[in-house]
């Protein structure tokens, strides 16, 4: 077998990850991170980090939220940085990361895990050097402000849970025009290119969105537009099979229960 230049996995582990779909039902969200209205599980993030990097390399999440990527990086033995626009979430993320470092103890001694409260659209001004991998998930347009969203009912009834990211005009979740949203989002990802080493990967975990009885192909639009800057290499489909079904449109129209995400793999070539 040729020398493994990408990761520290065995041949069997490598082959298993190559399957184009996977089922991952995350554990319950802990206190603190549940405040954030959208996140992906660190247990899943660790699998991607384990495949696309070697131990000791450095990962970036330009939209870090409450720090899932940084927690996963610590557990995998990687350095990590996260950029988070909202100071509230940046503070929560840093506290969670520090708690994780205490739990892992000597295992993570010497590793960097830092949250930067800033705007990813201005990453050139934040003083970063080169990264070996980017793992992130974008906001799903302004869907968190959709009044009829079933998933938001519980959050609206609680004073402790946020129903949208922030009131900041630079927050991507506050853009109402879909084409403007996609354009600004893709430009943020394009801006990472000078900081991503050659042949490094960028993984974006995203799904298409439904609004006003219409589907907006966010994942496909990101793939098409960002593929002009990076090479779109592949996709993995994340399936969640433990979600309750709801009878949307029953008896009158087709409305699916959407329990999958696209994990898009780009390469800096």
Per-residue model confidence as pLDDT tens digits over 146-176? 655 554 455 455 455 544 445 666 677 788 8
pLDDT of residue 184: 95
Any domain includes 6: no
**For the segment 186-206, what is each residue's pLDDT rounded down to a tens digit?**
999 999 999 999 999 999 999
Q: How confident is the model at residue 140 (pLDDT cuts 50, 70, 90)?
A: confident
In the block, residue with structure tokens 């939220």:
65
Q: How confident is the model at residue 91 (pLDDT cuts 50, 70, 90)?
A: very high
Q: Write the CATH number for 208.
A: 3.40.50.150
Any domain includes 142: yes
**Domain membership of residue 63 as a residue range:** 11-267
Instruction: Give this prediction's pTM.
Output: 0.88
Any domain includes 1: no
pLDDT of residue 176: 84
Any domain includes 218: yes
Any domain includes 5: no
Q: How many domains does the chain have?
A: 1
Q: Please, are residues 36 and 89 in contact by the beta-carbon 8 Å criterion? A: yes
Q: What is the mean pLDDT of residues 130-140?
A: 94
Which residues, listed in sequence order, are joined to residue 99 by a DSSP beta bridge? none
Q: What is the mean pLDDT of residues 113-117?
A: 97
Give the CA angle between residues 121, 127, 132 to the nearest 5°. 80
Beta strands across the sheet bearing 196-206: 21-23, 231-239, 260-267, 196-206, 131-136, 58-61, 79-84, 113-117
**Residue 75 clears pLDDT 50, i.e. is over it:** yes
pLDDT of residue 125: 95
Tell me the C-alpha distance between 196 and 36, whole Å.
Answer: 28
Q: Which region among 93-102, 140-149, 215-224, 254-263 has the lowest average model confidence (pLDDT)?
A: 140-149
Any domain includes 224: yes
Any domain includes 4: no
Any domain includes 253: yes
Q: Which region among 68-77, 155-164, 215-224 has the lowest average model confidence (pLDDT)?
A: 155-164
């Amino acid at each position: 077998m040729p020398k493994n230049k990408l990761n520290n996995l065995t041949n069997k582990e490598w082959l298993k990850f190559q399957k184009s779909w996977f089922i991952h039902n995350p554990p319950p969200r802990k206190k603190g991170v549940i405040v954030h209205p959208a996140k992906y599980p660190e247990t899943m993030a660790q699998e991607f980090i384990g495949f696309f990097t070697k131990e000791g390399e450095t990962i970036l999440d330009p939209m870090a939220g409450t720090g899932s990527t940084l927690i996963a990086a610590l557990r995998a033995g990687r350095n990590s940085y996260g950029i988070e626009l909202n100071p509230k979430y940046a503070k929560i993320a840093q506290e969670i990361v520090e708690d994780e470092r205490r739990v892992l103890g000597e295992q993570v001694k010497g590793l960097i895990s830092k949250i930067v409260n800033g705007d990813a659209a201005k990453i050139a001004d934040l003083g970063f050097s080169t990264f070996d991998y980017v793992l992130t998930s974008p906001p799903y347009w302004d869907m968190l402000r959709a009044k009829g969203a079933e998933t938001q009912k519980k959050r609206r009834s609680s004073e402790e849970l946020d129903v949208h990211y922030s009131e900041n005009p630079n927050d991507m979740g506050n853009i109402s025009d879909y084409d403007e949203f996609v354009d600004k989002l893709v430009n943020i990802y394009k801006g990472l290119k000078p900081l991503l080493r050659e042949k490094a990967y960028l993984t974006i975990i995203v799904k298409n969105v439904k609004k006003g009885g219409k589907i907006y192909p966010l994942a496909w639009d990101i793939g098409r537009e960002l593929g002009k800057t990076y090479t779109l290499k592949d996709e993995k489909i994340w399936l969640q099979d433990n979600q309750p079904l709801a009878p949307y449109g029953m008896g009158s129209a087709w409305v699916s229960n959407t329990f999958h995400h696209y994990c898009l793999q780009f390469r800096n070539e």
